[in-house]
Structure 1
Amino acid sequence: MTFSAVIVAAGASLRAGPGQPKPWRELGGRPVLRWSAEALSRSGARRLVVVVTPDRLEAAKDLLSDLPGLVVTDGGVQRSGSVRSGLAAIDGPASEPVLVHDAARPFLSREVIHRVLEALTGADGAIAALPVADTLKRGHGLVEGTVDREGLWRAQTPQAFPRDRLLAAFQAWSGAEPTDEAEVMEAAGARIALVPGDPRLFKLTWPEDFDMAESLARPARDIRMGQGVDAHRWGPGDGVWLCGVRIPHDAALIGHSDADAGLHALTDALLGALGEGDIGQHFPPTEARWKGEPSATFLAHAAARVAARGGRILSVDLTLICERPKISPYREAMRQTVAGILSAPVGRVSIKATTTEGMGFTGRGEGLLAQAAAVVELPSDDFAN
């Protein structure tokens, strides 16, 4: 269904405490106004009209310039004047549905938008609302009575109406300043549907509301785990690189890079947690430029990939399997080195060593095996596709 939207963002925000007006305060790293504007745009608004105070016109255009169908206009002294100004800025069919929404309700979902629009097919208007669940008391300092909550609803926005019907209702309105558009349409005899709103769609009103909103603005997180295995054979040499630490030894590990099996396994574990392949895809051994490359380069790349996707490394755990050299004298230096490469606390890095009691290729001294696991935290929507 084609629709347009009006976002009311011209209020003075007197109850919200000191600071900028509510639409311009930061929430989850972006202005409150941006949240609902993006939601309506993503849901297909043909025209997105944002009503602000005259001194915020250019700021609003800059903030929302990437959203299609954007119109920014100035509002009135009161809410009804701002809504009228927004309606007047919409072109197109007069009967097109228009959604009126408060900028101070940032957590607007596609589902609520669609429910309100769909309800218009059987009514003259539709509003998102929640049934009153709390016991209601009337009083001024002392309880004077209990209010029957049966049939009572908490009105939210968006509220949807045919644009021409809403304009006509405003022109006929003769009462005091209405609290919402549904009140104006009710006075004109309109049938207005109640559709399920969203408890998260609360209005930012008081200073403490912003603390709760900030907790909701934090993205949901997923915990992902990856594993990595690497093995290299022993060859001539006088030392070996393991976990970024050089250990004197009567042999060396053979490989295209510095053959640091520990860092290779850790790199694969992180890439596995991300679902981004393995070390060979990112650093092909067929390319001469990686010949002799310190394996810290590979692990740092994997850590950077985690950060680029908004994640963080929760822990890495590595087991080195070999008969020689002795790992324990170097374990703490290895942990410190790996933590530095990952830019992570050393407490998130575990390095262990074991033998195979003389069994297998490691037991025969033919090579060294490294096994790693990594746990990372990523935004849950990172895996939506």
Structure 2
Amino acid sequence: MKVAVIIVAAGRGHRVGADLPKQYLPLCGKPILQHTVAAFLKVPTINLIQTVIHANDQALYETAIGNLDLLPPVFGGDTRQQSVIRGLESLAMHEPDLVLIHDAARPFISPRHIEDIIAAAEEHGAVIPTLPVVNTVKQISGQHITGTIDRSSLARAQTPQAFRFKLIYMAHLRTAATTPLTDDCAVAEACGIRVTTVPGEDRNFKITTAGDLMKAEHMMKQQLTDIRTGMGYDVHAFAPGDQVTLCGVPIPHTAKLKGHSDADVALHALTDALLGAIGEGDIGVHFPPSDDQWKGAASDIFLKHAADLLHDKGGVIANLDLTIICEAPKISPHHDAMRNHIADLLDLAPNRVSIKATTTEKLGFAGREEGIAAQAIVTVRLPE
């Protein structure tokens, strides 16, 4: 049996109140769409994943998906129904037996639930996951109640909705010219197809508003129970120059720091701490000083790479604590700029970034003003 998935990601998602379409907004460091796709990639019985995106979102999509093994995306239409038809059309040449159609903004669908839906669709031909309506439902006119609706026959629809491929493809083609229908179950109903319900999952909610996004962020972090700590330390000597770069911020000084890259000792220590927390070696493994492509490179690149490795593992940064050790230059006037640069670089709240400075009371190489040292501790959260 060949199983395909269509992930509908062509909407604009204006109600979430962001500049980007909601499927591309970050959720614990990765786009919502990437979380959604990842859930389906974990199901071994799925053979094909077809995304349907907006024609203006190609660059956003490529950044969100990266190197994940998916079919090339197709562009959606003006309505969800038109977008699904285009996804079905693109899958027709592959002749799948079943197709699951899922909203991109539902990132919490579990692989086990997907498997249950596939099994039910194989048996019944058309399946929709639903949840009971638990609140009393009122009928209103303006600001006044006009009645109470019997909720015993009502259900809340979810996705993925699963069908025999030819069945739902023909149904979509037959209803394409009608008033747009809001989900694929409605398309099936309009063609007289009997749809079977299966229990849904409370966690499989659709991110629609800013409040939903906050809820999703909280839920995602609750899953990250593997808490790790990494430590980094680095030293760079002074050389003739007129400024040093610390935490990505240029600071006027009577010397510069000597190094193969921009010699940002603070970001180097942070990078090593982050790499250590996830067991990925040290900065020299990823950016060897013998490689000329890193000569003079901004250390932002190194720290961002370490953060990307963490995000690839499904993790997030809990906090960073950095101590810069030197007699000069004075760090405090630049503290806020340094802190904000790191927060922006790693997409963190500034209160998760701590930067301190100290001297060695004139002792050692730092006390003799021969260079600057930095040490960092980073705490990360990963899924078990």
TM-score bucket of the superposed structures, by smaller chain? 0.5 to 0.7
Question: What whole-Å deviation, never above 9, does each CA across 1:126-146 have from its counterpart, x for those lacking one?
Answer: 111111111111113222211
User: What's the counterpart of residue 272 of structure 2?
Assistant: none
Alpha-carbon distance in structure 2 between the residues aligned to 1:312 and 1:64: 21
- 1:184 equivalenced with 2:205 (yes/no): no
The DSSP-based 3-state class of the residue aligned with 1:150 is helix
1:95 is displaced (CA, Å) by 5.3
Give the alignment's TM-score, normalised by structure 1.
0.58
- 1:137 equivalenced with 2:141 (yes/no): no
User: What's the counterpart of residue 79 of structure 1?
Assistant: 80
User: What's the counterpart of residue 200 of structure 1?
Assistant: 203
- Verify the 8 A CA contact 1:138 1:146 in the aligned structure 2: yes
Alpha-carbon distance in structure 2 between the residues aligned to 1:17 and 1:55: 19
The DSSP-based 3-state class of the residue aligned with 2:152 is coil
1:311 is displaced (CA, Å) by 9.4
Alpha-carbon distance in structure 2 between the residues aligned to 1:312 and 1:5: 32
User: What's the counterpart of residue 172 of structure 1?
Assistant: 174
User: What's the counterpart of residue 214 of structure 1?
Assistant: 217
Alignment of 1:58-137 (within 5 A): 58-92=59-93, 94=95, 96-137=97-138
Amino acid at match of 2:162: A
Q: Bigger shift: 94-103 or 26-35? A: 94-103
- 1:45 equivalenced with 2:49 (yes/no): no
1:149 is displaced (CA, Å) by 0.6
Amino acid at match of 2:81: S
1:16 is displaced (CA, Å) by 1.7
- Verify the 8 A CA contact 2:98 2:122 in the aligned structure 1: no
The DSSP-based 3-state class of the residue aligned with 2:138 is strand
Give the alignment's TM-score, normalised by structure 2.
0.58
User: What's the counterpart of residue 294 of structure 1?
Assistant: none
1:57 is displaced (CA, Å) by 2.2
User: What's the counterpart of residue 331 of structure 2?
Assistant: none
1:61 is displaced (CA, Å) by 3.4
Structure having the higher Rg: 1
Measured on the aligned residues, the alpha-carbon RMSD in Å equals 3.2
Q: 1:3 to 1:63 in 2, by over 3 A?
A: same
1:104 is displaced (CA, Å) by 1.0
Q: 1:147 to 1:313 in 2, by over 3 A?
A: closer
Amino acid at match of 2:25: R
The DSSP-based 3-state class of the residue aligned with 1:90 is helix
- Verify the 8 A CA contact 2:24 2:60 in the aligned structure 1: no
1:56 is displaced (CA, Å) by 1.4
Alpha-carbon distance in structure 2 between the residues aligned to 1:68 and 1:205: 27
Alignment of 1:231-380 (within 5 A): 379-380=382-383
User: What's the counterpart of residue 32 of structure 2?
Assistant: 32
User: What's the counterpart of residue 14 of structure 1?
Assistant: 14
- Verify the 8 A CA contact 1:57 1:73 in the aligned structure 2: no
- Verify the 8 A CA contact 1:46 1:69 in the aligned structure 2: no
Q: 1:134 to 1:344 in 2, by over 3 A?
A: same
The DSSP-based 3-state class of the residue aligned with 2:158 is strand
Q: Gapped runs of 5+ residues in structure 2?
A: 229-277, 279-309, 320-372
- Verify the 8 A CA contact 2:26 2:32 in the aligned structure 1: yes
- Verify the 8 A CA contact 1:71 1:89 in the aligned structure 2: no
- Verify the 8 A CA contact 1:95 1:165 in the aligned structure 2: no
Q: 1:313 to 1:63 in 2, by over 3 A?
A: closer
The DSSP-based 3-state class of the residue aligned with 2:20 is coil
1:79 is displaced (CA, Å) by 0.3
User: What's the counterpart of residue 249 of structure 1?
Assistant: none
Alpha-carbon distance in structure 2 between the residues aligned to 1:313 and 1:76: 40
Q: 1:220 to 1:77 in 2, by over 3 A?
A: same
- Verify the 8 A CA contact 1:27 1:213 in the aligned structure 2: yes
Q: 1:69 to 1:21 in 2, by over 3 A?
A: closer
- Verify the 8 A CA contact 1:64 1:70 in the aligned structure 2: no
- What percent of counterpart residues are identical? 32
Amino acid at match of 2:225: R
1:122 is displaced (CA, Å) by 2.8
